């Protein structure tokens, strides 16, 4: 058996807080930043299997793992089982910790074509596809899905969890909304609890974990092996250290200081510009900066200045001025 199975078991035994796969977010730079703040298991954004098999540059970039990506999984999506299996073999060569199959994307152009949450229309086909992917690679394969399509009165996830376990899936992440809900409405963690009860593979609960307290509540009420955090990490990646402190040491850590917030802005900008050059590297960082500065005095003026500056040097100067103004005021 591939050593990653044992490694994954160990990681799940320690109640991991997993960084959710997020398109245009969980790239090599953001994964690194989250790791520096306590995230252990990370995931690439989802990668289209057709793009991957055609050798599309963007798809190849997405599966490229850095040396420090030792605990990173690659997520793939597609509608054709054979193509998924073929792409899984290809992605395996990048040496991810495991491969995850996206069966949860609700976006019509993906779900409507049978990929992502489209698999929930035909649970038997989803299970057969997962079995095919599992048997095509040596490393563990996991599935990330939703509780159902919506508006079923009884969600298919419980039966599906059992069948995916039988298909050889190593773990299951449940985004506790239906596909029809998209990202709106509250996630219902009780479905993760129900699914967890019927399988022996680790189940990871996902949806609306926005704080360390949420993470603790999600684990305590569902008995799941770990939690996955998505949107909150975009604006507040410190959530990883906050969850660890609470789950592992029973401690509440102080929120990041202004200095840490400004430092993270600088680091993220620098790393993104190194990776993508200017001005693109600066522009893609903006979606994070607003959240990083949240709660700081003068944050909105600072955001405005940063949002209109396309150069790294200019942004760093704005942040340096903000830092020295704070030091003087202190
Ligand atoms: C910008 C963005 C991009 C996303 N991209 C993906 C993706 O590539 N693969 C995937 O499985 N889910 C994707 N998701 C869904 C998240 O992984 C997660 O399931 C969802 O946001 C719920 O978790 P949260 O409440 O912690 O955000 C994305 C979500 C967001 C907000």
With a 6 Å cutoff on the Cβ, whether 175 touches ligand 1 is: yes
> Exactly one of 103, 105, 111, 265 is catalytic; which is it?
105
Which has the higher per-residue pLDDT, 326 or 177?
A: 177
Please confirm, yes or no, whether 176 is among the known catalytic residues.
no
Task: Give the residue among 291, 283, 271, 211 at the shortest CA–CA distance from 247.
Answer: 211
CATH of the domain at 279: 1.10.1200
Residues 143 and 275 in one domain: no
From the CA of 22, how far away is ligand 1's center (Å)? 5
The pLDDT, as a whole number, for residue 234 is 98
Query: What's the mean pLDDT in 77-90?
Result: 98
Residues 43 and 94 in one domain: yes
CA-CA distances (angstroms) from residue 24 to 29, 59, 285? 11, 12, 10
With a 6 Å cutoff on the Cβ, whether 144 touches ligand 1 is: yes
Residues 223 and 267 in one domain: no
Integer Cα distance of 143 and 14 in angstroms:
20
With a 6 Å cutoff on the Cβ, whether 102 touches ligand 1 is: yes
The pLDDT, as a whole number, for residue 52 is 98
For the four alpha carbons of 313, 319, 324 and 327, in that order, the dihedral sign comes to: negative
With a 6 Å cutoff on the Cβ, whether 50 touches ligand 1 is: no
The pLDDT, as a whole number, for residue 153 is 84
For 273, the domain range is: 258-329
CATH of the domain at 158: 3.20.20.70
With a 6 Å cutoff on the Cβ, whether 42 touches ligand 1 is: no
**Mean pLDDT over each residue of the chain, to the nearest integer:** 97
- 228-263 per-position pLDDT tens digit: 999 999 999 999 999 999 999 999 999 999 999 999
The pLDDT, as a whole number, for residue 227 is 98
Pairing of strands 42-48, 17-19: unpaired
The pLDDT, as a whole number, for residue 329 is 81
Instruction: Choose the final residue of a domain: 249, 281, 307.
Output: 249
Instruction: Choose the final residue of a domain: 194, 218, 249.
Output: 249
Q: Is it the case that residue 328 has pLDDT exceeding 90?
A: no
Integer Cα distance of 210 and 146 in angstroms:
18
* Protein residue with least CA distance to atom 13, ligand 1: 22
Residues 126 and 151 in one domain: yes
With a 6 Å cutoff on the Cβ, whether 230 touches ligand 1 is: yes
Residues 66 and 120 in one domain: yes
3 state DSSP class of 301: helix
* Protein residue with least CA distance to atom 28, ligand 1: 22
The pLDDT, as a whole number, for residue 133 is 98
The pLDDT, as a whole number, for residue 154 is 87
- Give the mutation target among 17, 19, 23 for probing the ligand 1 site: most ligand atoms within 8 A of CB: 23
- 184-217 per-position pLDDT tens digit: 999 999 999 999 999 999 999 999 999 999 999 9
Residues 130 and 243 in one domain: yes
Task: Give the residue among 198, 221, 244 at the shortest CA–CA distance from 41.
Answer: 244
Q: Is it the case that residue 166 has pLDDT exceeding 80?
A: yes
Residues 100 and 125 in one domain: yes
Q: Which two tokens stand for residue 36?
A: 């520096």
Integer Cα distance of 142 and 245 in angstroms:
27
Residues 271 and 130 in one domain: no
First to last CA, the chain: 58
- 39-63 per-position pLDDT tens digit: 999 999 999 999 999 999 999 999 9
Residues 157 and 262 in one domain: no
Residues 279 and 243 in one domain: no
- 254-309 per-position pLDDT tens digit: 999 999 999 999 999 999 999 999 999 999 999 999 999 998 999 999 999 999 99
What is the arrangement of strands in the sheet containing 42-48, beginning at the earlier edge strand?
A: 17-19, 226-229, 203-206, 171-178, 141-148, 99-103, 72-77, 42-48
Atom of ligand 1 nearest to the CA of 187: 25
Atom of ligand 1 nearest to the CA of 228: 26
Residues 165 and 275 in one domain: no
CA-CA distances (angstroms) from residue 215 to 181, 189, 207, 297, 312? 21, 11, 10, 28, 35
Instruction: Choose the final residue of a domain: 249, 277, 302.
Output: 249
Atom of ligand 1 nearest to the CA of 208: 25
Q: Is it the case that residue 330 has pLDDT exceeding 80?
A: no
Q: Which residues contact 30 (CB under 8 A, 6 or more apart)?
A: 237, 268, 288
**DSSP state letters, 195-228:** HHHH-SS-EEEES---SHHHHHHHHHHH--SEEE
Integer Cα distance of 167 and 127 in angstroms:
6
Residues 270 and 128 in one domain: no
* Protein residue with least CA distance to atom 7, ligand 1: 22
Q: Is it the case that residue 9 has pLDDT exceeding 90?
A: yes
- 101-146 per-position pLDDT tens digit: 999 999 999 999 999 999 999 999 999 999 999 999 999 999 999 9
With a 6 Å cutoff on the Cβ, whether 46 touches ligand 1 is: yes
Percentage with pLDDT > 90 across the chain: 96
Q: Which two tokens stand for residue 289?
A: 């900066």
> Over the Cα atoms of the chain, what is R_g?
20
The pLDDT, as a whole number, for residue 104 is 98
- Give the mutation target among 21, 42, 177 for probing the ligand 1 site: most ligand atoms within 8 A of CB: 21
With a 6 Å cutoff on the Cβ, whether 116 touches ligand 1 is: no
> How many separate domains does the chain show?
2
- 12-29 per-position pLDDT tens digit: 999 999 999 999 999 999
The pLDDT, as a whole number, for residue 245 is 97
CA-CA distances (angstroms) from residue 58 to 23, 27, 82, 89, 91? 12, 12, 22, 18, 14
């Amino acid at each position: 058996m591939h050593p990653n199975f044992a490694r994954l078991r160990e990681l799940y035994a320690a109640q991991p807080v997993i960084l959710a796969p997020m398109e245009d977010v969980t790239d090599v730079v953001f994964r690194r930043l989250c790791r520096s703040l306590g995230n252990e298991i990370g995931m690439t954004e989802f990668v289209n299997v057709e793009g991957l098999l055609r050798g599309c540059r963007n798809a190849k970039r997405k599966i490229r793992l850095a040396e420090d990506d030792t605990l990173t999984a690659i997520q793939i999506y597609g509608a054709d089982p054979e193509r998924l299996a073929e792409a899984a073999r290809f992605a395996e060569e990048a040496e991810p910790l495991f491969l995850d199959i996206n069966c949860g994307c609700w976006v019509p152009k993906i779900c409507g074509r049978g990929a992502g949450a489209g698999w929930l229309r035909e649970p038997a086909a989803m299970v057969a596809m997962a079995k095919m992917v599992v048997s095509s690679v040596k490393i563990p394969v996991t599935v990330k899905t939703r509780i159902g399509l919506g508006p079923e009165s009884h969600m298919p996830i419980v039966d599906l969890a059992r069948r995916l376990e039988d298909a050889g899936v190593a773990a299951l992440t449940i985004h506790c909304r239906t596909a029809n809900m998209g990202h709106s409405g509250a996630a219902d963690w009780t479905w993760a609890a129900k699914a967890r009860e019927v399988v022996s593979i680790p189940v990871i609960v996902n949806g609306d974990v926005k704080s360390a307290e949420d993470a603790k509540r999600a684990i305590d009420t569902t008995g799941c092996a770990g939690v996955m955090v998505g949107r909150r990490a975009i604006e507040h990646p410190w959530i990883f250290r906050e969850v660890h402190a609470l789950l592992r040491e029973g401690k509440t850590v102080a929120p990041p200081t202004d200095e840490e917030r400004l430092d993270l802005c600088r680091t993220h900008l620098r790393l993104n510009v190194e990776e993508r050059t200017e001005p693109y590297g600066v522009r893609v960082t903006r979606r994070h900066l607003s959240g990083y500065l949240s709660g700081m005095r003068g944050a909105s003026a600072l955001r405005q200045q940063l949002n209109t500056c396309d150069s790294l040097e200019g942004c760093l100067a704005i942040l340096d001025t903000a830092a020295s103004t704070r030091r003087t005021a202190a």
